[in-house]
Amino acid sequence: MTSPAPSVGAEAARRRTFAVISHPDAGKSTLTEALALHAKVISEAGAIHGKAGRKSTVSDWMEMEKARGISVSSTALQFDYADCVINLVDTPGHSDFSEDTYRVLTAVDAAVMLIDAAKGLEPQTLKLFQVCKHRGIPVITVINKWDRPGQEPLELLDEIQERIGLTPTPLFLPVGIAGDFRGLLRRGEDGEPEEYVHFTRTAGGATIAPEESLSPEAAAEREGDTWAAAVEESELLSASGQDHDQELFLAGTTSPVIYASAMLNFGVRQLLETLVALAPPPGPRAVVGGAARDVTAPFSAVVFKVQAGMDAAHRDRLAFMRIVSGEFERGMVVTHAQTGKPFATKYALTVFGRERSTVDTAYPGDVVGLVNATALAPGHTLFSDKKVEFPPIPSFAPEHFAVLRAESAGKYKQFRRAIDQLDSEGVVQVLRNDIRGDAAPVLAAVGPMQFEVVTARMRTEFNVETRLEPLGYTVARRTDAASGPELGRQRGVEVFTRTDGVLLALFSDKWRYQYIAKELPDLTLAPLVAATD
Ligand code: G4P
């Protein structure tokens, strides 16, 4: 007898799909390793995202990433924990790739905001938090590196409240000041101390830290004033209404907080527990011109990331889709909403660091990589049954512009093909106009490191040496066919067509833009989505 097929609704309900948002060096890679260690995906921390000194460099797919110690490629880590399926979708670490990060954030249901206890809120965290807020993604806060000297626990919470208007509601308070991390006080719904989780360090944090659970009375006896200080903090928080409230958390008003040390594996299990208990499962998703798509509707998915050349051994192009509704079965033929063409899903993978394994079935919330999906681009929809289309992912206002040329005219064909490929992956935006012609397109980026990715990939994947010439524009505005010619006649302005058909006017600086907008008020000059919107 075969067991009955799992119901899509039940499978969706046990998914938790989230991303970690943080400033570089806050400990995202360390936390990812620690989570995987807890989920027993790996037996020793250090096998997923090594940087210098760690075991391997699995997610570092390009030399450039290795050299700079950044991770550009997006991978999804899936593991089972306490009857749930956890999907951790990786985000690029550097702010120059914030457009990629934004796309990843369209594919998750919750975010973990990881903060370095000594540094507090840092610029990249703030930016990414704004994206979460904009998209209504609930945020769980993890205050990391509590094993090192830092600020007072409540000071950090005040900073969060004051600078981003999010009310922190700790679920676990540290027992012991920063630098003397002994364990966690678990707060009940009303802020009452419920439990003391005492941790024991292990060598190098390479294995799970043994935990001991003590009652509040036993904790008072063992830790004395240190426990009393944590209890007092908990009471102060309750007095100011900072107790967890699930509705307010889901509405993005409050954020549950956990103090942790990713390096020592302290607080990591508590994070998993929180994700399971509080993070929202996949829910309905807005569609263009119709009612939101429920998770139990026929199969549909949204592509949020396209990546080629992730691994020298697999020079293929992978499109990562997040399943929105229904059951995915490898081999099923679905429809690509943007072209109306059938799409066969014979090669479907999960990508976990350098490991790739075939996916046979997947459910809402899961991330699946489709191999050689040349027609797919970020924001595209795949569906079965009746047509459905998810809203496109907005592209960011570029702030850096450069002309790209092939060093040798004989390589024009490869150059052209490479540009098209990188453009459709969303690596950079490509702008053209009649004056400049096709041999020297203008690349537009949110951060200059995107250009480096282009030239590096041109060389390694397409065997084309290229030359970049920076262009002196810094401001882009959306315009239209009626305003284009007039704008093009202005000094310090140039008009381009982006591949998606949008007309962009580029200005040398904001003063030039402001002057023209004032002098010629009838022209269309609309703002583009800024990286911080
Ligand atoms: P990122 O992915 O967010 O950029 O950060 P990553 O995990 O690489 O961590 C940045 C640095 O912070 C690393 O040190 C890492 O060991 C350290 N770190 C992460 N979590 C903790 C923690 O809970 N406590 C302490 N004390 N340190 C932590 P590094 O010296 O740059 O690299 P490594 O040689 O230690 O790997």
Q: Model confidence over 429-454: pLDDT tens digits?
A: 999 999 998 889 999 998 888 898 89
On average, the pLDDT of the chain sits at 88
Q: Which range, of 49-53, 235-239, 340-344, averages the lowest pLDDT?
A: 49-53
What are the E-state strand segments in 328-462?
A: 328-329, 333-336, 341-344, 348-352, 355-358, 361-362, 367-371, 381-383, 400-406, 429-432, 442-445
Nearest CA to ligand 1 atom 33: 53
Nearest CA to ligand 1 atom 21: 263
- CA–centroid distance, 25 to ligand 1, in Å, is 6
Q: How confident is the model at residue 42 (pLDDT cuts 50, 70, 90)?
A: low
Letter for the amino acid at 242? Q
CA-54 nearest atom, ligand 1: 36
Q: Name the residue with higher pLDDT: 181 or 351.
A: 181
Do 109 and 236 lie in a common domain? yes
CA-69 nearest atom, ligand 1: 4
Which of 25, 148, 202 has most ligand 1 atoms within 8 Å of its beta carbon, as the pocket-test mutant? 25
pLDDT of 460 higher than 90? no
pLDDT of 41 higher than 50? yes
Do 365 and 435 lie in a common domain? no
Q: What is the pLDDT of residue 391?
A: 93
Q: Which domain holds residue 481?
A: 400-519
Cα torsion 156, 157, 161, 164 to 10°: value is: 50
Do 245 and 315 lie in a common domain? no
Looking at the structure of the chain, the number of domains it has is 3
Which of 22, 30, 113, 266 has most ligand 1 atoms within 8 Å of its beta carbon, as the pocket-test mutant? 30
Long-range contacts from 336-344, C-beta under 8 angstroms, 24+ separation:
336/375, 336/376, 336/380, 336/381, 336/382, 337/380, 337/381, 337/382, 337/383, 337/387, 337/388, 337/389, 338/375, 338/377, 338/380, 338/381, 338/389, 339/375, 341/375, 343/370, 343/373, 343/375, 343/376, 343/382
Do 252 and 289 lie in a common domain? no
**pLDDT (tens digit, 9 = 90+) per residue, 276-335?**
999 999 999 999 998 999 999 999 999 998 887 655 555 677 899 999 999 999 999 999
Domain end (from 383, 409, 438): 383
Q: What is the pLDDT of residue 171?
A: 98
Q: What is the pLDDT of residue 15?
A: 97
CA-22 nearest atom, ligand 1: 3
pLDDT of 69 higher than 80? no
- The answer to whether 398 touches 527, Cβ cutoff 8 Å, is no
Q: Name the residue with higher pLDDT: 92 or 323.
A: 323
* Neighbour tally for 281: CB within 10 Å: 19
Q: Name the residue with higher pLDDT: 65 or 144.
A: 144
Task: Report the C-alpha gap between 63 and 459 in whole angstroms.
Answer: 12
Do 405 and 342 lie in a common domain? no
Of the candidates 12, 255, 285, which has an alpha carbon nearest to the alpha carbon of residue 112? 255
Helix extents (H) in 386-441: 412-425
Nearest CA to ligand 1 atom 4: 25
User: In this structure, what token pair is assigned to residue 300?
Assistant: 């549909």
Do 62 and 115 lie in a common domain? yes
pLDDT of 98 higher than 80? no
- Look up the CATH number of the domain holding residue 419: 3.30.70.3280
Which of 263, 266, 270, 271 has most ligand 1 atoms within 8 Å of its beta carbon, as the pocket-test mutant? 263
pLDDT of 528 higher than 90? no
Nearest CA to ligand 1 atom 6: 27
Q: What is the pLDDT of residue 59?
A: 37
- CA–centroid distance, 21 to ligand 1, in Å, is 15
292 secondary structure, DSSP code:
P
Nearest CA to ligand 1 atom 18: 27
CA-144 nearest atom, ligand 1: 23
Q: What is the pLDDT of residue 151?
A: 92
Do 46 and 194 lie in a common domain? yes
Phi, psi of 340, rounded to the nearest 5 degrees:
75, 5
In a domain, 394, yes or no: no
- CA–centroid distance, 447 to ligand 1, in Å, is 24
pLDDT of 376 higher than 50? yes
pLDDT of 351 higher than 80? no
In a domain, 9, yes or no: no
Nearest CA to ligand 1 atom 19: 27
pLDDT of 245 higher than 90? yes
Which of 49, 51, 148 has most ligand 1 atoms within 8 Å of its beta carbon, as the pocket-test mutant? 51
Q: What is the pLDDT of residue 55?
A: 38
With a Cβ cut-off of 6 Å, ligand 1 is lined by 22, 24-30, 51, 53-54, 93, 144-145, 147-148, 261-263
Task: Report the C-alpha gap between 42 and 31 in whole angstroms.
Answer: 13
Do 351 and 487 lie in a common domain? no
- CA–centroid distance, 26 to ligand 1, in Å, is 7
Do 164 and 209 lie in a common domain? yes
In a domain, 78, yes or no: yes
pLDDT of 81 higher than 70? yes
Q: How confident is the model at residue 56 (pLDDT cuts 50, 70, 90)?
A: very low
Q: Name the residue with higher pLDDT: 382 or 78.
A: 382
What are the E-state strand segments in 152-221?
A: 167-175, 183-187, 193-199, 211-214
Top mean pLDDT of 15-19, 26-30, 396-400, 500-504 is at 15-19
- CA–centroid distance, 34 to ligand 1, in Å, is 12
- The answer to whether 325 touches 9, Cβ cutoff 8 Å, is no
Do 439 and 326 lie in a common domain? no
Domain end (from 251, 278, 305): 278
CA-53 nearest atom, ligand 1: 34
- CA–centroid distance, 83 to ligand 1, in Å, is 30
**Dihedral sign, Cα of residue 104, residue 105, residue 107, residue 108:** positive
In this prediction, residues 478-495 reach a mean pLDDT of 95
Q: What is the pLDDT of residue 2?
A: 52
Q: Which range, of 133-147, 185-199, 306-320, 368-382, averages the lowest pLDDT?
A: 306-320
DSSP 3-state of 42:
coil
In this prediction, residues 498-506 reach a mean pLDDT of 93
Share of the chain above pLDDT 90, in %: 63
Q: How confident is the model at residue 3 (pLDDT cuts 50, 70, 90)?
A: low
- CA–centroid distance, 48 to ligand 1, in Å, is 14
**pLDDT (tens digit, 9 = 90+) per residue, 99-131?**
888 888 999 999 999 999 999 999 888 888 888
Do 60 and 208 lie in a common domain? yes
